[in-house]
Amino acid sequence: MAGRPDRIHADPASERLMTSATVVTFVRTLATLALCSWGIVERDLTLLVVGLVVYWVGDSLDGEVARWRDCETRIGAVVDMMCDRLSCALFYIGLVVLKPEMLVPVGIYLFEFMVVDMFLSLAFLAWSIRSPNYFYVVDRRIYLWNWSRLGKAANSGLFAVLLLVTGWWQVGIVIATGLLVLKCVSLKWLLDLGLPVPARPVREEAHGGQAQGSPAP
């Protein structure tokens, strides 16, 4: 969990779209979309699962590359989140196409992951940290439940593995609902914590040589 202070906090000078890590993110996303689309067209569950594995492996790889190459950026973190949800959505759409009985648990899970969890994940932008991986400097409890290794594994892997292994939509509903409750509790903690809003910059206007206006309270 520990990290160097210069890596935890964002550096405006280092912010850019194209880094080694975002290249990995784009490549693994394109590969996942291609495999899942192929699986949907062919109605082949194996292709869908391979696409899911590529997404999981690639999601771990781009994070490792970002740390190894020292190119973690806030832009890269947001791109990673969006690509995660695009990859995840196509896999689960394909799963419902092949197994329509999974519609309800998948619907609950996608609402949790693409709406509630997306809001939680983007909240890091209100602080000067590089990504949610460093949210422990803001609130350790929220971090542990959502972005620790165990928290990430439970949110991204547990639901899919149990659906695929058991094939029971009832189990899927229980797990998806549990994750949704967890995320809603985390959302309450976040809202209780409050999201800092940057002060409005002073606008200087020539009026008798005096600066007019003041930062918003």
81-112 pLDDT, tens digit each: 999 999 999 999 999 999 999 999 999 999 99
Which residue is associated with the tokens 């094939």? 167
Report if residue 79 sits inside a domain.
yes
Question: Which range of residues forms the domain containing residue 187?
Answer: 5-193
Q: What is the structure's pLDDT at 11?
A: 87
Assess whether pLDDT exceeds 90 at residue 203: no
Question: Does 180 have pLDDT greater than 60?
Answer: yes
Mean pLDDT, residues 184-201 taken together: 91
Q: Average pLDDT in the 183-197 region?
A: 95
Total domains in the chain come to 1
pTM score, whole prediction? 0.86
Instruction: Find the CATH number of the domain harbouring 161.
Output: 1.20.120.1760
Among residues 60, 84, 62, 71, the alpha carbon closest in space to that of 19 is found at 71
- Does residue 204 lie in a domain region? no
Q: Coil, helix or strand for 198? A: coil
Radius of gyration of the chain (CA): 20
How high is the pLDDT of residue 153? 85
Does any domain span residue 100?
Answer: yes
Position 158 scores a pLDDT of 86
How far apart (Å, rounded) are the C-alpha atoms in residues 143 and 100?
35
Average pLDDT over residues 68-77: 93
State pLDDT tens for residues 118-165. 999 999 999 999 999 999 999 999 999 999 988 888 888 889 999 999
